[in-house]
Chains A and B, each alone.
Chain A
Amino acid sequence: MYRGSNNNKRVCKDKWVMIMFTLPIVFLYSFFFLIPMLMGFYYSLTDWNGISENYKIIGFKNYIEVIKNSRFRNAIWFNIRYMVLLVIFVVIISLIIAMALNRTKVCSTLFRSIYFVPAVLSLVTVALIWNELFYRVVPVLGQKLKIDWLSSSLLGNPKTAMYAILAVNIWQGCSIPTVLFLAGLQSVPTELYEAATVDGAGRWERFKNITVPFLIPVLNMVIITQIKSGLTVFDYIKAMTDGGPGNATEAVGLLIYKYAMQENKYSQSIAVAMILFVIVGIISIVTLRTTSDKQVEGG
């Protein structure tokens, strides 16, 4: 790189500068990410409750106990259902909104600005506002419209609480995917549509054969980000139901928190966290594999 003044001293000094440049981040990351992670793994092999001075190593007993525990299985099942529904709804709704926005000319900037607002708000604020709405407003609307399942609080019913949280997540979570889909739609050359129309292709055929292939990269991204947010949902649940009613909305993230902070099951809590890590890892590898395959097919 420095062919000019072949000065060995300088090359050596430059090497050091380049290493120094990385040190602040490397130190912080090692101290506050790697060490806690390794410590966590170690504690997950012990019976430590987080407070007492004595503990002993018990191997993988925590993991076995956790997997046997119905509360854990309930939490995993909650996350998987939640994630699948979140991905489906966010993809469909934001794609529809993006296609509608793409067609509008009047007021389109205004529409776009407002549709993006939820993305800038904190999840807690949104959750707390909807929490009030679910208790005070939605039941009133339900009674007026004579819809039975809406007439009492959705969050108070174990059967509907998850869907209420999901609705709030979708309300906020569609903003960014909508902008992404919109950018994807605008990348499709209009000549292609014109040519296809001349060739007699119907609306559905144009959508399937022109729009969708252009959207596949965006689609992959949206799916991956939503999978991650579905598997690690925390803020909404903590602010709205705190896992209740019963354990109906106890997601894995919340279970980890409660075990460690409220129930003195410190080492088990980390075992749950490690299992979550493995699940997230497997799911992301599988989705990355399948989506990159599709990308090749889609061209």
Chain B
Amino acid sequence: MKLEEQGREVKRKSINIGNVFTYALLVIGLIIILFPFYITIITSFKTTEESAANFFAFPKSFYLENFKAVVHKANYFTYFSNSIIITIVAVLFILLFTPMCSYAISRNMNRSKYHKFVYYYLLLGIFVPFQVVMVPLVKYTGSLHLNNQFGLVLLHITFASSQAVFLLVNYIRSVPSDLESAALIDGCTIQGAYWKIVLPLIKPMLMTVLVLNTMWIWNDFQMSLLILNKSPNTWTIPLFQYNFKSQYTFDYNMAFASYLIAMIPIIIVYALMQKYIVSGLTQGAVKS
């Protein structure tokens, strides 16, 4: 009896020590994650003199001039609306075209050589990093006068298609086709069956595609840099930030204000839709 109790005691203690260690580790991690945000927030509310006096201290007053400067002088809202428009238009077309294509592929892959070919043809894109095509691509879009926002949207749709089709085809193949077949026998057209039956059934995967591509396009830097960098009024937020850095190297309080302002929209969206965003981003990684 006694021995057993002692054993339990020892076990409880070791668990407690283990727990303390676990929490200590997690808190250290948390500090490492949050530290850059802390610096960003306090610095963007301080004047240059205040920061020079003590970089780590809390701001003494609620100094908003940095933000005003970013918004007015640097035209933040132009870039913000550019980013919004490009992201929304591209994602809408991705959600319109890729499920259609994936549906056709997954229902005909075993019967039609054309669809089988299209599937593997599109899959090739997953294995080719963007950097391999980017240089000839920019020359090519330039010659088509597409180095503008419209061209960027087309490129986003193109380079999202391989992964989206791959994810959707696998998902649709796991959905039984009985319902559509019944509808088709009843005289429904393929378009009708697709729209009314298939799309609602594949909603979870559509959500994943939506989240993945929204995040990807909103945060994209490399493609925007190549296509839009020469015309400042078409810049997206990441591009604006990149260029803002070289324009205002000395006023780092303003720079931090610009980082904060750029992060706010995505952090609000994350706070509101955390569940979808986490599952979307991780699912995207799992399945491809």
Chain A contact residues, CB within 8 Å of chain B: 1-5, 14-15, 17-19, 21-22, 24-26, 28-29, 31-33, 35-37, 39-40, 43, 50, 96-97, 100-101, 103-104, 106, 111, 113-126, 128-133, 136-137, 140, 171, 176, 179-180, 183, 221, 225, 228, 231-232, 234-235, 238-239, 252-253, 256-257, 260, 266, 269-270, 273-274, 276-277, 280-281, 284
A255 to B41, CA, bound (A): 35
B118 at the A/B interface (Cβ < 8 Å)? yes
Provide the residues of chain A in CB contact with B77, threshold 8 Å: none
Complex formed: what's the CA distance from A96 to B24 in Å?
13
Interface core residue of B132, B181, B241 (most chain A CB under 10 Å): B132
Instruction: Contacts A103-B19, A120-B270 given; indicate if A273 touches B131 (C-beta within 8 A).
Output: yes
In the bound assembly, the distance between CA atoms of A21 and B19 in angstroms comes to 55
14 additional A-B pairs beyond A238-B225, A239-B221, beta carbons within 8 Å, are: A22-B104, A25-B98, A26-B101, A29-B121, A33-B128, A100-B22, A100-B29, A104-B23, A117-B267, A122-B266, A231-B129, A232-B129, A238-B221, A270-B136
Asked if A234 and B101 make an inter-chain contact with CB atoms under 8 angstroms apart, the answer reads no
Question: Quick check: is B114 within 8 A (CB to CB) of the other chain?
Answer: yes
* In the complex, B95 has a CB within 8 A of chain A: no
Contact flag A122-B218 (CB < 8 Å), given A14-B190, A37-B132, A114-B30: yes
Chain B, residue nearest A40 (CB): B136
A117 to chain B, nearest CB (A): 7
A195-B138 Cα distance, complex, nearest whole Å: 60
**Assembly CA distance A29 to B94 (angstroms):** 12
**Given A3-B185, A5-B185: A232 and B252 interface contact (C-beta under 8 Å):** no
Neighbouring A residues of B199 by C-beta, 8 Å: none
A228 to B100, CA, bound (A): 29
Interface CB pairs A-B, < 8 A, 9: A18-B112, A22-B101, A28-B161, A37-B128, A37-B132, A39-B140, A115-B30, A260-B135, A277-B129
| Complex Cα spacing A44 to B118, Å | 27
Range, interface on chain B: 35 or more
A31 to B75, CA, bound (A): 34
Would B39 and A1 count as touching, CB distance under 8 A? no
Asked if A125 and B263 make an inter-chain contact with CB atoms under 8 angstroms apart, the answer reads yes
Closest to A259 in B: B135
Please determine whether A276 and B137 come into contact, CB atoms closer than 8 angstroms. no
Residues of A contacting B189 with CB < 8 Å? 17
Q: Is B128 touching A256 in the complex (CB atoms < 8 A)?
A: no
Contact with B39, one of A28, A101, A137, A276 (Cβ below 8 angstroms): A137
Instruction: Say yes or no: B128 contacts A277, CB within 8 Å.
Output: yes
Tell me whether B122 and A25 are in contact (CB under 8 A).
yes
Q: Which residues of chain B come closer than 8 Å to A130, judged between CB atoms?
A: 36
For B154, the chain A residues whose CB sits under 8 A away are 28, 32
Q: Does B281 contact A (CB under 8 A)?
A: yes
Interface stretch, picked from B1-9, B62-70, B254-262, is: B254-262
Nearest Cβ in chain B — how far from A50, in angstroms? 7
User: Contacts A260-B135, A273-B133 known; A21 to B101 CB distance under 8 Å?
Assistant: yes
Q: Identify the closest chain B residue to A266 (Cβ).
A: B135
